[in-house]
Structure 1
Amino acid sequence: MKISEKIRLYQISLIASMLFAFIGFAYNAWRLEVSEQNNNIRTACFEMLKELAQLEQLIYVAHYDQNKTEGSPRKGWISVGLINDFSYLTNGNLQQSARTLKTTWNDNWQNIYASTQAVDLVVKDIDSVRSEIKLLLNDLE
């Protein structure tokens, strides 16, 4: 084998090695980014689920137990606000469900002590947000 052929073979193997290294690096960087994004989504979803449970408990305490201390709407506003804020780390469908919950809470918080209909509307939206969370978590890569 001539020296020019050896140099050409060396150049081809060098180019192939660099190409594979670049592809490997690019895939690894992409995978790390997706994993980090998925981790942020999971964390936001779990925090939202906790806040949804607290909000639902608050509603039941306010309505059925008529406890205005533990069932204070101010606590509800905090939970609704956090749910809405965490939704921005997720997808559009979940953000929309969280906004709908916030609107429903805004329209009905004054009536949760006396109105079963107000309770049912808010709990329906809580369940809707939960459903969107489950769909999102199942679809993560």
Structure 2
Amino acid sequence: MKPGTKIIDQVRRNFVAIVSLVVAVTSLGYNTWRNESSEFNRNQRLISIEVLRNLGELQQVVYHRHWGMDAEDAGNPLTGWAIVLTIDDLASILQVPVPESASALRDAWQQHSDMLGEKDKAEKTIIEAIDTVRSDVHALLSDLD
């Protein structure tokens, strides 16, 4: 700095550069935040849709097992277990309350799946748990930006 040059004079001479720097840093910060927010919402939507698809498949297994008395093919309890565990794994990535309702579905399946076809209470309990997860996923989707 030259002798006699004041800081205020430096700011006046470089005012446009300083404003440009502030705008650039602010824009970069906002853009980064927006990209992260969009990525989060995109991931939540994708996983939610996959959970809904798996819920539909599980509901078919329950109906085939309970009403169709088909434990071999479409109502195979092992297929149901695979779907329930997939739902539980996917739901763990989603926002609350979906992980809790998916765990409740897993518990309902564990306690009642072997009684499907014998007791209507088993079918009702599992379908209610499926409906709870489904409504929680729908609520999560409607709350996303």
> What letter is aligned with 1:15?
I
Q: Tell me which of 108, 114, 128 is aligned to 1:110.
A: 114
Gaps of 5+ in 1: none
RMSD over aligned Cα atoms: 1.6
TM-score, L = length of structure 2: 0.90
Q: What letter corresponds to residue 126 of structure 1 in structure 2? A: I
* Runs of 4+ residues deviating >4 angstroms: 3-7
Paired AA for residue 46 in structure 2 = T
Matched ranges for 1:116-131 at <5 A: 116-131=120-135
Equivalent pair of 1:108/1:122 in contact (CA under 8 Å): yes
Identity %: 29
Q: How big is each residue's C-alpha offset from its partner over 1:2-27, in whole Å with a ceiling of 9 and x where there is no partner?
A: x9887532322212111111110111
Which one has a larger percent helix, Structure 1 or Structure 2? 1
Structure 2 segments unaligned to the other structure (5+ residues) = none
Aligned residues, how many? 139
CA distance in structure 1 between the aligned counterparts of 2:93 and 2:19, rounded to whole angstroms: 40
The one-letter code matched in structure 2 to 1:110 is D
TM-score, normalisation: structure 1 = 0.93
Which residue identity is paired with 1:82? T
Would you say the 8 A contact 1:40–1:89 is kept in 2? no
Corresponding residue for residue 139 of structure 1: 143
